[in-house]
Amino acid sequence: MDIALLLVRLIGLGMAAHGAQKLFGWFGGYGIAGTGGWLESIGFRPGKAFAVAAGASEFAGGLLLALGLGGPLGALLIIAAMVVAIGYHAQGGFFAQKGGYETALLYVVIAFGLAFTGFGAYSLDAALGLTGLYTPTVEWAAVGLGVLGGLANLAIRRKPAA
């Protein structure tokens, strides 16, 4: 089980790379300015602020999951960012190939699962003796805040200029 959790947590590296595209322009990304301009064009204003928030959530959340540190905090960050992505990509249907929300949903499901299962023995939380801090109440609060944070971002999105 611990090896399986370690392997599942590695998806966090993909999420961290996704955030690094937004924040630093790494891995073929557009950085804060480019991402901010795109976000503005789809109704998230101010675009640069949204780019920083999304990039930081994805980067930090992904690293926390991959390292197995911070219990459900990484899941909260990923869920918040990916709920926004699901909301945006819903217009494309389910499949990512058609611009749909498939990939974002997979990240949410993995983050949700890890928020409740914990990270296993091969994690920094286990090495630092932090696993006892994450009660079901803390786990549910983190998941709930992630969903509410994502929905709040979608709610303040303005219609893109025609």
The model's pLDDT over 46-104, given as tens digits with 9 standing for 90+, comes to 999 999 999 999 999 999 999 999 999 999 999 999 999 999 999 999 999 898 999 99
Under a CB-based contact definition with an 8 Å cutoff, are residues 51 and 39 in contact? yes
pLDDT at 159: 79
pTM for the whole thing? 0.93
CB atoms within 10 A of CB 42: 14
Given CA atoms 68, 18, 138, 83 in this order, what sign does their dihedral have? negative
Residue 160 has pLDDT above 90, yes or no: no
Residue 161 has pLDDT above 70, yes or no: no
Quickly count helices (H) and strands (E) in the chain. Answer: 8, 0
Residue 162 pLDDT class (50, 70, 90 cuts): low
Domain ranges for the chain: 2-155
Taking the C-alpha atoms of residue 26 and residue 16, their distance in angstroms, rounded to an integer, is: 11
Token representation of residue 57: 């959530």
pLDDT at 128: 96
Residue 6 pLDDT class (50, 70, 90 cuts): very high
Average pLDDT over residues 95-120: 95
Taking the C-alpha atoms of residue 11 and residue 6, their distance in angstroms, rounded to an integer, is: 10
Average pLDDT over residues 17-33: 96
Residue 123 has pLDDT above 70, yes or no: yes
